[in-house]
Every structure is written in structure tokens, then in C-alpha cells.
Structure 1
Amino acid sequence: MAYEIIWSRESRENYKDIIDSLLKKWSFEVAEEFTNKIIERLTLLEMNPYLGTSHPEITSLRKLLIPPYNYLYYTTVNQQVILLNIVDSRRKIS
């Protein structure tokens, strides 16, 4: 049975920020390619929720690479994949 994907507010906001940045610095095509990669990864997570690497100390926290520079952080609860954050690994975290 497929897991349901749930976006947290933070993951949704960071996704929008990344898209805005790609549109400003690159092009619509690059932003669309990123969105397609997100959709592809989410489709995989619906059927394989433990696909990402687990955190060594917090085993319920997992991360999945969205090539080439982004990580999707998530957890699973019951039949749900809860997206906690999407992080551009090139950005400084403040």
C-alpha cells in the first residue's frame, strides 16, 4: 500500500524558496527540472518510505538526495511520509 505524502509548512516554504532562487538565477526550465526531480523522489517514497538514509542518532529521521545539491528530510508515521524540510546544501544555514 502506498504511503501518503504530507508536506510540513517549513518544507513547503523552503521548496518555494528554492524554486524562486532557480527562477531568478537560472530559468524556468531549471526550476521545472527540479520540480520533476522532487515529484520523482516523492513517487519513490510513496512505495519505498525507507529509501533515504537514516540519521545515526535519530533513526526515525531520514534524508534523501535530490540531485545535485538538495536534501529532503522526512520521517514516517503510520502510512504517511512527513516531509520535514528541503535543504539546498550550498546555502548557509542561519
Structure 2
Amino acid sequence: MSRTVAWTPEATETFDIIVELIETKWGFASAQKFVRTANQTILTLASHPEMFVTVKGQTIRRAFITKQTSLFYEITEQQIILLYFWDNRQEPIL
């Protein structure tokens, strides 16, 4: 059963920042490719939310969008809550 997907304000903000960074460094086509890949991953999460591993035993899970970018999310009974996107080249916060 697919769950609905809810974006937190932080998820929206970090997604927009990453898309803007990609567009600035590698161009519009690369940014659009990232957006398509992210959307496909989110659609997959809606149907298979437990596909990715939890982070250090927490309820938070980490999905890899690309080698450079991860998506952190939580699962509830009815929703997938997108918490934030992360540039994997940064120091981890979890």
C-alpha cells in the first residue's frame, strides 16, 4: 500500500538549495536529472518505505538519491515524512 508523502519545510529548503547548487555548477540539464531521480526515489519510498536502512537504530531512514546526495525520512502509519536532503560530502549530523 502506498503512503502519502509529506515534505517538511526543511526538506523543501534543502532540496531547493541542492538543485540550485547543481544548476550553478553543472547546468540546467544536470539539475533536471537530479530532480527526476529524486522524484523517482520518493515514489519508490511511497510504495516501499522500509527499503532503506535506519540511521543508527533510530526511526529515521536514509535513502541515497545519488552518490553525493541523501534523503532522510521517517515512516508513520499513513505517511512518509521527508525530513531533509543532505550533501554527502558534508560532515554527518547523525
Give TM-score scaled by structure 1 length: 0.91
Give the equivalent residue in structure 2 for 1:81: 80
* 2: CA distance, partners of 1:62 / 1:40: 17
Give the count of matched residue pairs: 93
Give the equivalent residue in structure 2 for 1:22: 22
Amino acid of the structure 1 residue aligned with 2:82: L
> Which portions of structure 1, spanning 4 or more consecutive aligned residues, are displaced by more than 4 angstroms?
none
Per-residue deviation at 1:92?
5.2
Amino acid of the structure 2 residue aligned with 1:70: T
1:68 aligns with 2:67: yes
Contact 2:67–2:88 (CA under 8 A) maintained in structure 1: no
Q: 3-state SS of the aligned residue for 1:16? A: helix
Contact 2:68–2:89 (CA under 8 A) maintained in structure 1: yes
Amino acid of the structure 1 residue aligned with 2:68: Y
Unaligned runs of 5+ in 2: none
Q: 3-state SS of the aligned residue for 1:71? A: strand
Per-residue deviation at 1:56?
2.6
Q: 3-state SS of the aligned residue for 2:49? A: coil
Give the equivalent residue in structure 1 for 2:47: 47
Per-residue deviation at 1:77?
1.0
Give the equivalent residue in structure 2 for 1:32: 32
Amino acid of the structure 1 residue aligned with 2:47: M
* 1: CA distance, partners of 2:62 / 2:7: 14
Amino acid of the structure 1 residue aligned with 2:3: Y
Per-residue deviation at 1:12?
0.4
* 1: CA distance, partners of 2:27 / 2:91: 22
